[in-house]
A = this chain, B = another copy of it.
Amino acid sequence: MPTINAARLLEDLDQLRRFGEQASGVVRPAFSEADIQARHWLREQFKQAGLRSVIDGVGNVLGYSRNPGKAILIGSHADSQPTGGWLDGAMGVIYALEVARTLSESPAHRHLAVDIVALQDEESRFLGCLGSRSLCGTLDHQAEQDAVDKDGIRLIDAIKLAGLSDTPREQLDPKRYLGFLEAHIEQGPTLEAQAKRLGIVTDIVGVRGLKAIFRGQQNHAGTTMMSMRRDASTALYEFAYRINQRFAAEAAARSVWTMGRVKLIPNATSIIPGYAELDLQFRDAEESQLELFTSLAQQVREVMIKASSVDIELVEARSPIKPSRMSASLYQYLEQAAQAHAPDSWMHLPSGAFHDAGIMASLMPSAMLFIPSINGISHDFAEDSHKDDLVLGCQVMASAVAAMLVEHS
């Protein structure tokens, strides 16, 4: 088995962290200045690893092997949440780089074809999994034209600002690949709670997003009697409360839902808001549960509009993502490598977080490897993982990739 260079891996993780570094975390949302700088740095690293390296028209950084034969694609996303952790996404990108370098330096493996990728906007600044959707040819043109971030900045303007408007967009040929492998921090407490060092993902939950829009009448909070009000915030609070009641009553064991973003206009203490927005996101491994939640939200709206002086509109806020199954014929190599390097310290688990591998799975067999998140924390400056887990995960990835490519060459 080829052996990774642990010091180089940790050094490159630190290098990537510097783009957008803030306190112990990173602020590197898709198409921010820090993100674009990071992508140019990654392209250079991919090139120095001997790969044909490009940044494509949506900001994906790809490194293609020059070797013939069936290839494996490895990678994750390089963008972060608005206030994110240093490993989320970034770890899987640097793993891919280190695995490609490790195999190219091994006389027994340097003839094998490892492609690597740093994907764009997995974290939904504009459009979740923009990069993997684009590579798979499933990016909706209209959704792309309409996409704006929370401040109203348009995706197409962000692409222009990054100088990518006229840059070709890469597409993946599934015939080239045995499959896609993504490593990621778990972002949850399961591995730590079970005292396991590695997780092999069986399924990725589906995600849907609805936006509830409340239209009333802005007015003075002192002179407008309660009976005359059309208060958008009052309708929002009631809608959110009813959603929490109804969803809880009909949830499956691992269903989750979140209403983490609110906008009131004008959002002032002494003014009745005339307009409000609420984001409702929900996830489950079963498509039927996502359908049920969608219809429950519509029912809550219908009940409320009969009695409310506020108009309520419910729109699809993001492209829905179906639950997806990881490929057992692919992740068997992860199982074997995990058992070899960390006997009985690994487990199977579903992913409650969505990942680019869920998009890639529509194009080719895909699999994911998790390492533990300390205290299960992610999407926060406090996100971290133990150094020895970081090194172990990358070694398992390298061993699995080598075994898989050797077997198929």
Contact = CB atoms under 8 A, between A and B. Distances in A.
Interface residues of A, number: 65
B273 A260 contact: yes
A364 to B, nearest CB: 23
A175 interface: no
A15 interface: no
Contacts of A205: 222
Given A233-B260, A256-B226, A218 B317 contact: no
Given A223-B376, A378-B220, A380-B218, A241 B233 contact: no
Contacts of A270: 81, 123-124, 258, 260, 281, 379
A291 to B, nearest CB: 19
A352 interface: yes
A353 interface: yes
Contacts of A379: 218-221, 270-271
A158 interface: no
B222 A207 contact: yes
A272 B279 CA distance: 12
A188 interface: yes
B256 A260 contact: no
Interface stretch (A102-110, A247-255, A333-341): A247-255
Contacts of A224: 188, 256, 352, 376
Contact of A223 (B82, B188, B255): B188
Contacts of A352: 220, 222-225
Count of this chain's copies in the oligomeric assembly: 2
A150 B261 CA distance: 18
Interface in A257-310: 257-262, 264, 266-273, 279, 281, 283
Contacts of A258: 221, 231, 269-272
A45 interface: no
A214 to B, nearest CB: 13
A209 B269 CA distance: 9
A187 interface: yes
Contact of A188 (B83, B189, B220, B231): B220
A186 interface: yes
A262 B244 contact: no
Contact of A241 (B238, B317, B318, B380): B238
Given A220-B378, A270-B281, 18 more contacts: A81-B266, A82-B268, A150-B267, A189-B223, A219-B377, A221-B281, A221-B283, A223-B376, A225-B256, A226-B248, A226-B251, A233-B260, A237-B244, A260-B264, A260-B270, A262-B267, A269-B279, A271-B379
